[in-house]
Amino acid sequence: MKTILENISKLKLFVYILFSMLYSLQGLLTSFLIQIAGEIDVNNTQMVLLFGLGGVLLYIFVYACMYINNILVRAIIEDFNVLISKKAIENFYQKRLNYTSEELNSFLTQDIPMFWQEYLVPLIVYPIYVLSILVSVSYLLIQNIQVGLLFTIGGFLMIIPQFIFNKMLQKRGEELSTARVNSMTSITDFTKGIDTIRSNQASKQFSSHVLDEIKNTEKKQYRYFTSHNLVMFWTGPLKGIGLVVPLMIGLFFIKSTSITLTTLLAMMTASMNLISPLQQLLEGTSSLQSSKFIRDKMVFILNMRSNDDEEIEINTSKEKLRIYGRNLSKSFEDKLIFERLSLDIPFGKKILLSGASGSGKSTLFKILSGEDTEFSGNLYFENEKRTCYEPSYNKVSLIHQKPYIFNGSLRDNLTLFQEISDSNLRDVLQKVNLLEEMGNNLETQLDGQNLSGGQMMKLEIARCLLRLKPILLVDEVTASLDDMNAQEIRALIYSQNCTIIEIAHKFTEDSYDDIIRIEDYKSSDSNQ
């Protein structure tokens, strides 16, 4: 709870609590009006009209406070949702959040809405219920200590079932939370592993397993809400006792005290208004208990450190970097990828990285780009001033074999929502011979289906040229292209003033300054 409250705007929370204090008076409004009505001279028309107008204005004021309160709650939830979404996206991008893309999507679209509905809202509205209870109790005791105390005790009788069944509710809430996790996990496994399930002809059995988890969740939810309703059932008789008994005793007090029947009825109304927020507190507590898992997920992400990386400039780097690598070795579990690989690549060279499929070429690319840091050996980039850099996308560009086309305009696909002028966009599109093909229109809508393979690759190269770094990694960019498009694309890439390391199966050795064969860096006893 502390972590969550620390990430809520203190100003909005303060204003919310302030208006909560005002809105909490609404529980006493009816009691106050009943009591005032008992003192009015019904023959005085002016007084009756003034009473009616005053009553309406009081209700308008109280419900205006409620309106402002609801807006503030929504504003607090909006701020929190944006904050938690921002932290999740940043940490996913930085690979600190070990989520798959499907898990991230589920977190953003399902977990966050569930969290504010089942946890954040009950947590925030607690002050209203607590203040309403305090105001009602204060009113009852001020009117008459003895009778007020009876009505207060009567109102609090209804929380007895909560204490009696608390352990059972907590246990079943935890069971429900665990069942939800298991169900979500099985559904995720089913959707992500559907191809494996189909190929092994296990769809019937696996579907049955998923259905069993769903049934178990529904069973646990049924048990939890049955227990919750059992608590609510017992509050009914206790509510009757808590109202009727103090009223009967109060009727006897009328003869011996100054308390009037009107005041007694007002006190009974206040006691009823005491019961309502108590019920809300009980339901809110139950909701908080059943949302433990989702709360823990939120707290985990909130406690993750923020992105402290400096903003990267889009401008093309003019540095001339030399690549140095000594005794680079990489293994995955018990599988050797390569070992004792050394690099010394001057700036501007064109290098071919060859090897069979799965030999480790893509792995070396990940190491060069800084994505993979789990390797042995020494690797760094050095400029002309002998300044050294660790591998990262700050110094490395990558042209993917299968570029992803986002649903949106040509401009958005190029800028990726970074600030780049239209003139620069048109210039780079002209360089890759794509401007005319796109109708000279940056607002052309793309969906991945209305581009040819060659156009998709040109778009990917255009993205790269807008952010060209001293080192360019090229991953099988011509594999799916015809000869004419392949020649055009390769000529465009080779014309760039940078170091180029290319993975290619179809190549001419004369096109490169050097060739690195991954097979040369595997031990003789390796099964590669």
pLDDT of residue 311: 46
Measured from the Cβ of residue 199, the count of other Cβ atoms closer than 10 Å reads 8
H or E element, residue 517: strand 514-517
Query: Domains of the chain, with CATH numbers?
Result: 2-302 (1.20.1560.10), 322-521 (3.40.50.300)
Query: SS in 3 state form for 326-374?
Result: EEEEEEECCEEEEEEEEEEECCCCEEEEECCCCCCHHHHHHHHHCCCCC
Q: For the segment 13-68, what is each residue's pLDDT rounded down to a tens digit?
A: 788 778 777 777 776 777 888 888 877 877 888 888 888 898 888 888 888 888 88
For residues 156 and 220, give the distance between their C-alpha atoms in angstroms, rounded to a whole number. 29
| Under 8 Å between Cβ of 183 and 220 | no
Query: Mean pLDDT, the chain, as a whole number?
Result: 82
For residues 56 and 50, give the distance between their C-alpha atoms in angstroms, rounded to a whole number. 10
pLDDT of residue 2: 65
Residue with tokens 């020494």: 378
pLDDT above 90: percentage of residues in the chain: 16
Best CA proximity match to 466, nearest among 314, 324, 352: 314
515 phi/psi in degrees, rounded to 5: -125, 130
Residues in the chain: 528
**Token pair belonging to 233:** 């059932």
Of 318-322, 478-482, 515-519, give the lowest mean pLDDT range: 478-482
Q: Confidence band (pLDDT; 50, 70, 90) for 491?
A: confident
The pLDDT of residue 466 is above 70: yes
Q: For the segment 1-26, what is each residue's pLDDT rounded down to a tens digit?
A: 566 666 777 788 788 778 777 777 77
**Token pair belonging to 79:** 């701020």
Residue with tokens 């009037």: 260
For residues 102 and 2, give the distance between their C-alpha atoms in angstroms, rounded to a whole number. 29
Sheet holding 322-332, edge to edge: 335-345, 322-332, 376-382, 388-389
Q: What is the DSSP letter of 24?
A: T
Q: For the segment 134-191, what is each residue's pLDDT rounded down to a tens digit?
A: 888 888 888 888 888 888 888 777 777 767 776 787 788 888 888 888 888 888 788 8
| Under 8 Å between Cβ of 493 and 500 | yes
Q: Confidence band (pLDDT; 50, 70, 90) for 527?
A: very low
Q: How many CA atoms within 13 Å lie on the side-chain side of 453?
A: 14
pLDDT of residue 310: 44
pLDDT of residue 104: 84
pLDDT of residue 423: 92
Q: Is the dihedral of CA 510, 512, 514, 516 positive or negative?
A: negative
CA distances to 125, 343, 373, 436, 509 from 516, rounded to whole Å, are 65, 9, 21, 38, 11
Best CA proximity match to 442, nearest among 472, 416, 464, 411: 411
pLDDT of residue 307: 53
